[in-house]
Each structure stands twice: as C-alpha cells, then as structure tokens.
Amino acid sequence: MQKFHGIIGKETGLQAKQVRQVIALLEDGNTVPFIARYRKEATGSLDEVQIKAISDRYTYRMNLESRKDEVIRLIEEQEQMTEKLRTDILSADVLQRVEDLYRPYKQKRRTRASAAKEKGLEPLADWLMLHSRDIRRKAAEFIGPEGAQDPDEALQGARDILAEQFSDDADIREKIRDVTRKQGVIRSALKKDGTDEKHVFEMYYEYEERVSAIVPHRILAMNRGEKEGVLKISIEPPADTIRRIMKNKWLKRHAAAQEVEQAIEDSYKRLIQPAVEREIRTELSDRAEEQAIHIFAENLRSLLLQPPMKGKMVLGVDPAYRTGCKLAVVDDTGKLLEVAVIYPHPPKAKPEEAKRKLADLLKKYPIEILAIGNGTASRETEQFVAGFLNETRTDAAYVIVSEAGASVYSASDIARGEFPDLQVEERSAVSIARRLQDPLSELVKIDPKAVGVGQYQHDVSQKKLAEQLTFVVETAVNQVGVNVNSASSSLLQYVAGLNKTVADNIIRVRNENGRFTSRPQLKKVPRLGARTYEQAIGFLRIPDAKNPLDATGIHPESYELAGQLLEAAGASNKDIGSPELAGKIGSVDLGSLSAATGAGEITLKDILDTLKRPSRDPRENFPQPILKKDVLKMEDLLPGMELQGTVRNVVDFGAFIDIGVKQDGLIHISKLKKGFVKHPLDVVKTGEVVTVWVDGVDAGKGRISLTMLKPEDQE
C-alpha cells in the first residue's frame, strides 16, 4: 500500500518517508510511545500525536480500499460494471463518494420507482428524456392488466423512475452537498411543545447561521436541545441554485419539459434534500464531536501533567455540609496516616470543635499543605480553613484541588482494594491529598471520562472519546515514566506494551519477592514476554538499581552505546547525573561518535541529555499550584484588580479561571491576548497558573468576567 504514503503525508503535513517508516513500525507490533521515544532516527523525531495521526489515516485508507473492493464485487455480480465506473470507484478519495457511486446499484427497499418498474414503465421514463410530443399517446401504450390503469398513472410512474435516477446520480449529489455546505443556513427554533424551564437553550429559540460558519460548540448545543425535545433544527439549502444545477443537466429542449421538470422537483424535495440535510447534519456533528473530544483530551493532558508537590505531608479535605468534612493525613510518600471528620458548617455546625481537631492534627503531624476539594461546600470550607490558619498563625497553607472524579474513584473496586475499611468520603479525602502530591499517579485510577474537564462530553461518541482519552493517558504516563517499585497496577497498565494482567503480575511478584533491583528481573514476571519487555522496559524505572542506567529513560538496547558515550567523556556509570559529567559531556563530538558507533546523532543526543539529567520530569516545566492563606470574596473584586488564578477548564469560547472566590471567572477568547486567537488552547492549558485582571462583576447572576490583556493593551 505504498501509494498511501504520499496521500497520508499530504493529509498530515508529513513526509512520505516518515509515513512509510511509521506504518512499517506499527505493523511490526511496536507501540506509539515506543516509536516516539526510541525510534526517532527512523521517524525523524515524530511525537505521539503525529504517529497516531498517521495510524488513524492509514486505518481509514485501508477501510476505504476494503469498501471499494466490496462495492466493485457487488456491482460485478449484477453484471453492470463499466470501465468508467470502475475507474471512478478506484479513484474515490472519501467513503461518501464510493457510497454515492454504489447508490444506483444498491438493493433498495420497495420504492415508488421500483413499483413503477414492475409495471413496465421504465421504457416510458427513458422516452420522456428524449421526446416532447404525443406524451399522453405514448403513455397510453403502457396501459394494461400488469401495467398502468390510465395515462396519468403511467406518467406518474415514469416520473417516479426519473426522480430516483436523478437522486442516484453521484456527481449531482456531490454538487448539491457542496453548495449546501457553502450556501446553506442552519436554523433552530423553539418547538411548540418544547419545555425549557431554566432557559438553557434560550439563545437558540430563534437562531440561524451559515452552515459554513457555525462553530462546533453551537452545533453540540443545538443537538442537545433537539435531543431534549426543546428545539427543532433544520437546514435551509439554496434551493433555487440546486434546482438550476439539476435542470442544467437533465432538462433538455427536446425532452418532455413539464414531465421531466416535475420529476426533478420531486427528486429534489422528496429524495435528495432530506438525505443531504441528514448528511450535512452528520458532518457538522462529527466535526463538532471531534473538536469536543480534542478539547477534552488537551485539558486532560494538561491536568495529568501538572507538577507533583513532592516531599510534602498533606491534609486532604473533602468538603460537605450535612455529613461533615472528611480529613485524611497523607505522608510525603502518599501513605495514609489518619482520617477524621469535622463539622464546621450547618446543619451540625461545630466550628470550635472543628478548629480543635485541625489544631491537634497539625500539632501531631508536620503538615505543610491542606488540599481542599472544589466540590460542594468548598468555598465555605476554604473560608473556615483560612480563618483557622490566620488565628493560629501556622506555617501551613492551603490550595484548592479539582476533585473531579474523586467520587467515582472512591466507590470503585480500586479504592475498595486500597482502603477496604474506609468510608467512601474518607477515600475521597485521600484521593484529593494524593492528587496534589502526584496528579498523574492518582488520576490514572479514574475513568478518564469522569475527570470532567470537557464540554458536551456526554453528547459525543463514547467509544471515540474513550479511545482518545486512553491515548492521552498512555502518552502522559510514558512521557513521565513509572517507578516500578511504587507504581499501582492502575498506573502500570498504561505503560507501553503492558495490560492489566501483566501489571497485576508485576505487583504480585513485587509483593512476594520484594523490590525489583534490576530491569532484567522483570523478564521473570508471568506474561511479560520478550516483545512486551522490549516495548515497556524503557518506561519502567528502578531507582537505586544496581545498574544506574536502570533508573533512567535509556533503553537497555542502548546501554552499550551509553557506556561508549561515558567512556568518550572520560566518565563512568557512577558519574551519571553529576555536575562533573555535565561539563565533561560538552566536549563529546557527536558527529565523530556517530560515525564510530553507527548510531544516529538524534539517539546519541537523547542518551547524553538523559545521562546529564537522569531524573528529569517533563512536569517540571509547569508552575506549582497557588498556595494561599486567605480567602477572597466576590464583594472584594473590583474592575482592574490584578489576580493570580488557576485554569480549571478550557472551552471553544474561552477559559474558566479559579481566582479564589465561589464562582470561577470566564476569560472570553477575545481577551486571552492581544491580537487574533484561533482557539483558547493556543494560549492557556488546564491547571496552568495565570495572571488575570477583573473585567467585570455581576453579583446578581454570580458572573465574573476576566481578562489576560495587560491594562495598557485594554481598550
């Protein structure tokens, strides 16, 4: 399938050579993370997203070719294949074109046209396309016991046959589809019996926009309104233009103009227009779904790659009113030390007792940070904690942590296995504390869809969403790497090449035999064969291993090469990660070493960088969460006030920022930066700490408008 390489290269903006290499590596059973990290020489340093794009387009092309073969076979069985038709099918670039070409030969359910054909009226339909005189006399020839009862019925049957023939014309359908995309208008209206008590869809009660201009999130909003029985959605095509296109093709001067024109009108209104409207709606929905899934995936990626708060003892707080705030003290390794519950809020309000319990915990343990979940009663709990910290003048600070998915985790089999003796809310408090310490390790325990950093995630294909989110988690886990001696099964199963069975086996062997001290020991894990070992081992780290290289991202296949690099620098394994080695490596000539070893310079540079910084974590590039000691109220906000905030969610039209008040503020896309912004994700990421200015406050509606434009750039 080499002919695909150039096509896929154009579709993805990559070289045909890169496409060829990636496809060959994938077909050889290599995983995307492995190819991205350890086969850079072959791919030209493509990343995981680019490799997956090639994989997706290759799968589409293979499916398209398979469908072409099937369609050709089905038409050949009917003995209706022509060379032109075969050429048209084989040259089709999209599946829709193949289906259009197959339409005239597709087995249809009984139609008006097929009923007319059974009465022998097809010759009359052909005749109408060539003649204009004596129409009724010609129609009378088709009256009979098995034919039409009268000329009118004969002509109606002939028109039905023509209408279906016009509808089945592949070129005309594509032209109509194209002109509808470019000139059509999508409309939404409130249904007569539609109920929208909260006016969620008020914007769409009477709304219209060009099909070519409407943005994805509006499509999804309309679709949801239609699904909930509130809105009626339709597409108004450029009907006059479409009729003109059809007449130009079929309405000839010598034809029975009136009859053919009626057939054209019927073909368009009854057969083509409803089908094209469905197809355009599907196209718009698919594109909107793709965008929604992309945004969810990017938000999830940013959330997973938030920097860990290492070496800190944390008090996790799961806020609540009636059932009280559950507390969990977690040491710097993530081990649970103690749980408790306090009632600082109504209806059981016991604030003084709550303060005493907090004081006791802070006296008993060297707690540095209180992690407060951002769910129900979060802001009230924040006010209580801030007041307590100010009263006691403790060195501890607090931070608001997204608890999205914490409740899902708490009720899961994983959580029950970890903490069988804890209540659901107590497990949530542990999760909140741990996700501050190491977001990636904790969030992988939750179904990615439950993390809640998307928009309209319940309105898109759940299969496509799950596939994309799983890919994002796998990419994040493998970019960071995994400590095989401390990782949970939930984390291990996202490592390239591993699955749940092998991950569980690693945990079992670790529990039975103690910590792994070398990478080769993993070869003894059941079901972890040679191929799996090759794909996974570079992402599995063993701190304090006998061989220092086992603690790095250097693959064992390159250990000999790493030794040669160290030798060229006048160093040894003992020097890995030392300041001295960094200085020595600077003198290594990569070009000469590449010629001497046969290894590519990209590979050599990767190994050198790892030897200099063996424990480098890509998450180090992100800012730490904002630690606070005091609380801000909406009443304190004034236009122009400068604040630090955390990006909680990114959507098509802007970003929601937690600035420490009860309601997140919204930065509209137009106020993210000076100049044009194609999409908010180009400027901000979920979890990022940003500087914002208050643009406006509507206390009545609980809305806060923010801007990232500096005062001098604001109009």
Q: Does residue 45 carry a pLDDT above 80?
A: yes
- Residue 63, domain CATH: 1.10.10.650
Query: Are 587 and 526 in a shared domain?
Result: no
Q: Is the pLDDT of residue 250 over 70?
A: yes
Q: 429 and 344, same structural domain? A: yes
Q: What is the mean pLDDT of residues 410-437?
A: 94
For the entire predicted model, the pTM comes to 0.88
Asked if residue 109 has pLDDT above 90, the reply is no
Q: Do 644 and 692 sit in the same domain of this protein?
A: yes
154 close to 143: Cβ distance less than 8 angstroms: yes
Please write the tens of the pLDDT for every residue from 579-636. Answer: 888 888 877 888 888 998 899 999 999 999 999 999 888 888 777 888 888 777 888 8
Angle formed by the axes of helices 590-597 and 601-612, to 10°?
120
Of 9-23, 178-192, 447-461, give the lowest mean pLDDT range: 447-461
Same structural domain, 32 and 18: yes
pLDDT of residue 622: 76
Please report, for the domain that includes residue 536, its CATH number. 1.10.150.310
Say if residue 571 is in the same domain as residue 525: no
| pLDDT at 1 (0 to 100) | 58
Q: What are the Cα distances from residue 545, in Å, to 477, 483, 485, 503, 548?
A: 21, 11, 11, 20, 6
pLDDT at 2: 67
Asked, for residue 156, whether it belongs to a domain, the answer is no
Give the integer Cα–Cα distance in Å for 142 and 118.
12
Give pLDDT, residue 518: 97
**Most confident segment among 231-240, 306-315, 408-417, 569-578:** 231-240
Verify that 511 and 547 share a domain, yes or no.
yes
> Which residues span the domain enclosing 591?
554-613
User: Is residue 323 very low, low, confident or very high in pLDDT (cuts 50, 70, 90)?
Assistant: very high
Note whether 430 and 326 are same-domain residues: yes
Of 552, 567, 602, the position where a domain reaches its end is 552
Instruction: Please check whether residues 526 and 594 belong to one and the same domain.
Output: no
- 3-state secondary structure string, 670-693? HHCCCCCCCCHHHCCCCCCEEEEE
55, 81, 107 — which closes off a domain? 81
Note whether residue 420 is domain-resident.
yes
Q: Which of 1-15, 57-71, 273-287 has the lowest mean pLDDT?
A: 1-15
Residue 472 near residue 300, CB atoms below 8 Å: yes
Residue 586: per-residue pLDDT:
75
Higher pLDDT, 365 or 252: 365
**Exposed e or buried b for every residue in 618-629, given b needs 16+ CB within 10 A?**
ebeebeebbebe
Q: Are residues 535 and 645 in the same domain?
A: no
Residues pairing with 644 in the sheet: 691
Could you give the number of structural domains in the chain?
Answer: 5
**CATH number, domain with residue 357:** 3.30.420.140
Classify residue 246: in a domain, yes or no: no
Q: Do the domain assignments include residue 218?
A: no
pLDDT at 3: 74
Same domain flag for 523 and 559? no
Q: Is residue 537 part of a domain?
A: yes
| Residue from 612, 592, 615, 599 nearest 560 by CA | 599
What CATH number does residue 641 fall under?
2.40.50.140
Q: Among 552, 569, 590, give the residue marking a domain's end.
A: 552
> Residue range 287-295: average pLDDT?
94
366 and 424 both lie in a single domain: yes
Q: Are 38 and 555 in contact (CB under 8 A)?
A: yes
Q: Is residue 466 part of a domain?
A: no
So what's the pLDDT on residue 49?
96
| pLDDT surpasses 80 at 152 | yes
The answer as to whether 628 is a domain residue is: no
For residue 165, how many C-alpha atoms fall within 13 Å in the half-sphere facing its CB? 16
CA distances (Å), 696 to each of 236, 357, 637, 704, 710, in order?
A: 39, 39, 9, 6, 15
Q: What is the pLDDT of residues 504-524, one digit of tens each?
A: 999 999 999 999 999 999 999
Given this model, what pLDDT does residue 582 score?
81
The pLDDT assigned to 257 comes to 83
Regarding whether 430 and 334 lie in a shared domain, the answer is yes
- Asked, for residue 25, whether it belongs to a domain, the answer is yes
